[in-house]
A and B are shown apart, each in its own frame.
Chain A
Amino acid sequence: MSGHSNWPEWIYIAVVIALMCWVGAEAWNAERLVEHVPEGAEIIKVTGQQWFWTFEHEDGTKEIGELHVEVGKAYKFEIHSKDVNHSFNIHDYVVLMDAIPGRINTVWFAPTDVGTHDIQCREYCGLIHYNMRGTLYVEEPST
């Protein structure tokens, strides 16, 4: 219980604390940068409901289960739900935000390459939660 020196333990604890400070500082800094919405981001209203996603663009066009965006532009999602909690997720672009009835959550992204990506629900929402999926189409800007 005593009689041995404790300095290796203190060094070890100091290293762990230093590591945690480093992780925390990096995370704080990165999150601060990713949360900064660029000026002029186009707004897309996202509605989750059991068990599909609807999207409304600024010009009023609506899409169900599919979302078409243009490469190189920035978009801000305004996410909300009509019934229970869902979570709007485009994993390839690390877009993840809960859709919660009674409030609007926002998250933004700027697609960098032309292509298609999966859209899915990441919060349990009942019977067809597993198939509350959609597709993101990133396209060349229309002329």
Chain B
Amino acid sequence: MVVELAKPRPIWQIMFSTHHTDVGLLYLIMSLAFLFMGGALALIIRAELFLPGAQIIGDAMTFNRIFTVHGTTLIFLFILPFASAVGNYYVPIMVRYKDMAYPKLNAIAFWMIPPGGALVWLGFADFTWYATPPYSIISAPGPAADMWIFGLKILGISSVLGAINFVVTILKCKHPDMSIGQVPLLAWSYLTSSLIILVAIPTFAAALLMLLTDRLGVSGFFNPAMGGDPIAYQHLFWFTFHPEVYVLVIPAIGMMYEIIPRFSRKPIYSYNSGIFAFVLLAIVGFSSWAHHMYASGMSFTEKTVFMVGTLAAVPASAMHVYNFIATMWNGRIKFSTPMMWAVGGIALFFSAGAGGVANAAMPLDFSTHDSYWVVGHFHLFVMGTIAFGSIGFLYYMFPYVTGRMYNETMGKVHFVMSFIGTVLVFFTQHILGLYGMPRRVFDYPPIPEWIAMNQIASVGAMIIGVSMVLFLINMIYSSGKGKLADTDDPFGVGGKYYYPFEAKNPHH
């Protein structure tokens, strides 16, 4: 789809390359392919829920499989690989090194994703993205469930290998003249998120194996019929995945740290508070995992501990918002497409955090938990913040990757439609949750408020869908036919850019 036009090469040369911009390109194309595949599933879900009764899907099992694969795909096959794509392009250049620390490992980490993704898609499991036992042990149909487990295993290993590579590249391969306190914030975001991965993922890796042997019947870790404890799985799962949400969001924040000062034509307001907030989030993020489990029967004391842990992480997120606004303050802002996405993303980041605080307050969570509120909450992050930051950054790096400019008007229309759509879908879902609609339902009773809210959400989703088609056309058309970019200053904002182009494979 996106072709590196500056130096066209046959596709197999890119596929077998270990150079960081080539691996970055592979990550980029793969993640965008999964963005569209996972997004298509979301449109099916929204079409089905437009009205009560079966609309376009015949049976509940198919619906359950669709939302399971939707969530798994966008988290593990879009957000994470997209972050790796950007990291591959930028991190070595930002630390002034010729490549990633371990180029072969880098390529291996990438090539684990297609088999992992294939297992998830060919299996099409139904047990939701958190595969909770005992359902996942005694009830979920195989081989789909087993394929999902193996797929996630592979994706997890890929993620760990990638994280090791980023940490070593940044800490050990940065130019000797450069102190760690001079490494740009985008690279810092990869350092912190990679460190979180290394601490968090092993727990889930263990839980997956235990789940697998439980399914095979040779163990009963999480199976109450064999004396096991299903709640233990939830702890292992969320110990990984609450920190993992910061793994998802931190690189997107890093991308905004690259875009916002550039288009405000001002240096970042406070580099140090950016670093401080990243590191703080990475540490405090480990103290809140069981806020996903308030309703599982925890004691009052346990709930209190995890509520405090959750609230303690909020100031770190709030610091980023302040930093962005202070950077834009009095800047000569140029609202090119990347800037629009970044600013929109920050607004949605703020709203998402506010909703998160409500979840964290224990008595309120008993209204919101496992309702559509939670779906709205985390989508304001994954779509509103992370996808917005990522797409903005994609527009930003487009001239670097292809040597050409995208169509600016189409980029802006894409943003405006997506922003309106995102507000319609996910703000509405918050309200829907307050009306009591449970999540993960194939059908719902004809309660007038539920129908109205679902319809608004479905319309919003279609608006996003249309805008994504524009996006695809823009990318494909402009990468071949767009006007040539001014490679020194593609956006006409002046200043020095990090320019992956120049670092183009010195070995070839």
Which residues does chain B contribute within 8 Å of A125, judged by CB atoms? 135
Q: Which of A16, A26, A95, A97 gathers the greatest number of chain B CB atoms within 10 Å?
A: A16
**Min CB distance, B364 to chain A, in Å?**
7
- Contact A122:B230 (CB < 8 A) given known A16-B318, A84-B135, A129-B441: no
**A31-B362, A130-B60 known; A92-B436 Cβ under 8 A:** yes
Chain B 364-416 interface residues, beta-carbon cutoff 8 Å to A: 364, 366-367, 369-371
Q: Which residues of A contact B225 (CB under 8 A)?
A: 101
Chain B residues within an 8 Å CB radius of A1: 267-268, 270-272
**Residues of A within 8 A of B (CB-CB), count:** 53
Q: Which residues of chain B come closer than 8 Å to A16, judged between CB atoms?
A: 314-315, 318
Chain A residues whose CB sits within 8 angstroms of the CB of B267 once the complex forms: 1
Q: Are A124 and B363 in contact (CB under 8 A)?
A: no
Nearest CB of B to A52, in Å: 15
Task: Report the separation of the CA atoms of residues A27 and B365 in the bound assembly, to the nearest whole angstrom.
Answer: 10
CA gap between A85 and B307 in the complex, in Å? 23
- Cβ–Cβ < 8 Å partners of B269 in chain A: 4
A101–B135 Cα distance when bound, in Å, is: 11
Chain A minimum-CB-distance residue to B234: A85
A7 to nearest B CB, angstroms? Answer: 12
Interchain CB contact under 8 A, B361 and A27: yes
Answer yes or no: B469 CB below 8 A from chain A CBs.
no
- Let me know if B371 and A122 touch, CB within 8 A: yes
Question: Closest CB of chain B to A127's CB: distance in Å?
Answer: 5
Q: Given the interface contacts A13-B315, A129-B441, does A124 sit within 8 Å of B357 by beta carbon?
A: no
Cβ 8 A contact of A100, one of B231, B360, B444: B231
Contact of A9 among B270, B303, B311, B443 (CB under 8 A): B270
Asked whether, in the complex, the Cβ of B135 is within 8 Å of the Cβ of A96, the reply is no
Query: Does A103 lie within 8 Å of B436, measured CB to CB?
Result: no
Answer whether residue A87 sits at the interface, using C-beta atoms and an 8 A cutoff.
yes
Partner-contacting stretch, out of A17-25, A40-48, A53-61: A17-25
Is B15 part of the binding interface, using a Cβ–Cβ cutoff of 8 Å? Answer: no
Whole-angstrom distance between the alpha carbons of A46 and B198 in the complex? 42
Known A27-B307, A84-B134; judge A102-B361 contact (CB<8 A).
no
Interface pair B314/A6, CB less than 8 Å apart: no
B297 touches A32 (CB 8 A): no
Would A89 and B357 count as touching, CB distance under 8 A?
no
Q: Does B219 contact A (CB under 8 A)?
A: no
The minimal Cβ–Cβ distance linking B369 to chain A, given in whole angstroms, is 6
**B230–A85 touching, CB < 8 Å:** yes
From B139, B361, B367, contact of A26 by CB (8 A): B361
B5 adjacent to chain A (CB < 8 Å) = no
In the complex, chain B residues whose CB is within 8 Å of the CB of A102: 224, 229-230
Is the C-beta of A105 less than 8 angstroms from some C-beta in chain B?
yes
Q: Which of B139, B319, B370 contacts A13 (CB 8 A)?
A: B319
Q: Which residues of B contact A122 (CB under 8 A)?
A: 295, 369-371, 438-439
Given contacts A24-B307, A129-B64, A133-B445, 5 further A-B contacts (CB under 8 A): A27-B363, A30-B362, A95-B366, A118-B445, A127-B60
> Which residues does A use to contact B, with CB under 8 Å?
1, 4, 6, 8-9, 12-13, 16-17, 20-21, 23-24, 26-28, 30-32, 34-35, 50, 83-85, 87, 89, 91-92, 94-98, 100-103, 105, 118, 120-131, 133
